[in-house]
Structure 1
Amino acid sequence: MSNIESNGSPMVGLSALKDLNISLIISDVDDTITSNGKLKPNALEAMYKASEKGYRIILLSGGSAGWCEVYLRQWPIFMVVAESGAVMIYKDENGQICYQQNPIITKENLDSRDKLLRMIGEERLSSDQYARLYDIAVDLSKVNEKELNDIKSMADVMGASYAQSSIHLNIWFGDYSKSKGLLAFMNLCGIDEETLKEESIYLGDALNDEEMFKLIPNSIGMKSVLDKKEEFKTLPKYISSYYGGEGFAEALDNLKKI
């Protein structure tokens, strides 16, 4: 493997996952579980096998609340934190779908989001913007570099936060992020930060996963991370041999039964 430094240690192969004592699998979705926008059989099968082994799967996504509710309904997962930490979607004891807004979000935050939405223009937005409750998703395929930088500048002036995935620039208002949102919602579930670090792995593919690579010691990057490794300040501890869902399946296949 590469000798790139990651969390103070060289990257190591996925076979070391067999020695971990973990109970939680936390994962990004786009280009981590999916491959070029599609969920392939090997990734879905890997989720089912991991669930059957006893792992709880938590998705941490910049995706819309609408899409993430579908994941909860269709995939063998425990819960989803959607829109870059804005909302937790889960099932209650009766199996009903429930939404929990991040308590840090205010009406002023949402008013600012609506104003920026109008400034950006509908033609630059992701096709799932209609299903978003709290953030803005700019479709990277619909903007050139200058337009993207202009949008980032508008967001900066208005005090917004943003993160770039492989497909979107996600923009939101409020002091939260994927990692902060996850920690807040895990606390509501009775799981503290130290337990989360000790009992979890995290899987991601892009720069907007960097804060999670830093938070979770046993982090796993898809092969796409190596393609842009010079842009990362913190790299994952492990790297898959494959892109997207194939890399996700490879990682989960290396986990032992609980």
Structure 2
Amino acid sequence: MARMWPVDGVIGENGGFFFRRQPQGHGLERHFWHSLADQESTRDRLKEIADIVRTKFGTARLAEDQPFRLTSLAFAQPDTPTDVAAIVAALREAGANVTVNNLWILAWLGNYDKLAMSRRILSAHYNLDIDRDPQQVLYAGDSTNDAPMFAFFRHSVGVSTVVRYLAEIPKPPNWITEGPGGAGFVEIADAVIAARSGS
């Protein structure tokens, strides 16, 4: 996404990293929440936690893209809420932070989330202090792992699929689109363009 999309940068894996395409060419600037010294031990511990969970729950299945994840674990959601809750509990017992989105049970190590990394990156790379000027940001999301962002930003939007998770989000987004996913994002973009043009 950081290489191919028309965006300035991408915060990934619930705040574990920030990638930005270099001004010239297709190289990437890579910034991680954890220091270089801590990254290897963090990955090793995540692997240990994954093995613990898979041993405890024979049906626990890592996401197909887990080999490409750099800072987190992702388990496919089981069929029943009880099994989801059991895996979440096991991950927390092992010392991981956990959230659930519309596809995965996500786990990571470290005192961060999307909001903490956004605060760091917007300050360091875009000279924006969101604690002083939060209204400069419009945030869109779709599930429970977006809860910190919905709670912080006044201009928060959930695409329509977020309604499945509203009972689990302490402060819901201030607006919800009619369409899901990309269609919802187009609604958001159209609203911003219309506001800028005064129409």
Please give the TM-score of this superposition, normalised by the length of structure 1: 0.66
Determine the structure 1 residue equivalent to 2:157.
220
Q: Give the one of 9, 17, 20 matched to 1:87.
A: 17
User: Amino acid of the residue matched to residue 119 of structure 1?
Assistant: I
> SS where residue 124 of structure 1 aligns?
coil
8 Å CA contact 1:104–1:175 kept in 2: the answer is: no
8 Å CA contact 2:150–2:156 kept in 1: the answer is: yes
Q: Give the one of 230, 237, 251 matched to 2:167.
A: 230
Give the whole-Å Cα distance in 2 for the aligned partners of 1:231 and 1:147: 17
Shift of residue 216, structure 1, vs aligned partner: 1.1
Decide whether aligned partners of structure 1 residues 90 and 110 sit closer, same or farther in structure 2, where only a CA change above 3 A counts: same
Determine the structure 2 residue equivalent to 1:103.
34
Q: Give the one of 116, 121, 133 matched to 2:70.
A: 133
8 Å CA contact 2:3–2:21 kept in 1: the answer is: no
Decide whether aligned partners of structure 1 residues 222 and 110 sit closer, same or farther in structure 2, where only a CA change above 3 A counts: same
Decide whether aligned partners of structure 1 residues 90 and 195 sit closer, same or farther in structure 2, where only a CA change above 3 A counts: farther
Give the whole-Å Cα distance in 2 for the aligned partners of 1:144 and 1:116: 22
Decide whether aligned partners of structure 1 residues 101 and 231 sit closer, same or farther in structure 2, where only a CA change above 3 A counts: closer
> SS where residue 220 of structure 1 aligns?
strand
User: Amino acid of the residue matched to residue 161 of structure 1?
Assistant: N
The alignment status of 1:251 with 2:188, answered yes or no, reads yes
How many residue pairs match? The answer is 187
Q: Equivalent pairs: percent with the same residue? A: 22
8 Å CA contact 1:137–1:171 kept in 2: the answer is: yes
Shift of residue 114, structure 1, vs aligned partner: 1.5
For structure 2, which runs of at least 5 residues remain unmatched after alignment?
none
Shift of residue 144, structure 1, vs aligned partner: 3.9
1:87-137 superposed Cα distances (whole Å, 9 cap, x missing partner) = 110022324212111136835433321101222339601110011011000
8 Å CA contact 1:80–1:90 kept in 2: the answer is: yes
User: Amino acid of the residue matched to residue 137 of structure 2?
Assistant: S
The alignment status of 1:113 with 2:46, answered yes or no, reads yes
> SS where residue 192 of structure 1 aligns?
coil
1:40-98 superposed Cα distances (whole Å, 9 cap, x missing partner) = xxxxxxxxxxxxxxxxxxxxxxxxxxxxxxx1222111100011101110022324212
Give the whole-Å Cα distance in 1 for the aligned partners of 2:164 and 2:113: 24
For structure 1, which runs of at least 5 residues remain unmatched after alignment?
1-70
> SS where residue 105 of structure 2 aligns?
strand
> SS where residue 2 of structure 2 aligns?
helix
Determine the structure 2 residue equivalent to 1:159.
95
1:10-44 superposed Cα distances (whole Å, 9 cap, x missing partner) = xxxxxxxxxxxxxxxxxxxxxxxxxxxxxxxxxxx
Please give the TM-score of this superposition, normalised by the length of structure 2: 0.84
Decide whether aligned partners of structure 1 residues 172 and 146 sit closer, same or farther in structure 2, where only a CA change above 3 A counts: same
Shift of residue 232, structure 1, vs aligned partner: 2.3
> SS where residue 84 of structure 1 aligns?
helix
Greater relative CO, 1 or 2 (CA 8 Å, sep 6+):
1
1:146-173 superposed Cα distances (whole Å, 9 cap, x missing partner) = 4322322221222210111000011001
